[in-house]
Amino acid sequence: MPPDATTNDPAALDEVEEELVREVERYPWICGGGLKPQTGKDLGVYESSLEDRANCLSLWSLSYLNPLLALGSRKVLNAGDVGVPSKQDSSSESYEKVKKAWDEQVKIADAHNKKIM
């Protein structure tokens, strides 16, 4: 049975409300007439971050944030709207950079300590 407004299931009601909102929220024809994103899923932020998909000019001007800012002007953002972090912000990437810097400092300290002894 498809969800409708007469069911008492809150998840089904949320789905129905979301579909109703999606039908109403459209960009003007001059902007392409597409549907306005309602969640981060619509922006595609679950697959890759907006920053990772941005080109050089978008990174320089921070214009890759415009879809997220537009969504934030229509509703309160939650963690699902922001999506996955950028690859360069991942812990494994940060760990590799810190480990490399730490190893370099250990080599410098060892060389300095050998001179003293």
Residues 98 and 112 in one domain: yes
Six-digit token pair at 105? Answer: 């400092």
Residues 58 and 25 in one domain: no
Q: What DSSP line would sit under 17-82, residue for residue? A: HHHHHHHH-B--GGGT-PBPP-SHHHHTTTTS-HHHH--HHHHHHTGGGHHHHHHHHHS---HHHH
Residues 80 and 47 in one domain: yes
Mean pLDDT of the chain: 74
Q: Output the CA torsion 13→14→20→22 (10° steps).
A: -160
Residues 117 and 96 in one domain: yes
pLDDT tens column, 31-74: 655 666 666 666 666 677 777 777 788 777 877 777 888 888 88
Residues 72 and 96 in one domain: no
Residues 31 and 18 in one domain: yes
Residues 94 and 78 in one domain: no
Task: Count structural domains, the chain.
Answer: 3
- 3-class SS of residue 66: helix
Residues 50 and 77 in one domain: yes
Range of the domain at 104: 87-117
pTM for this entry:
0.44
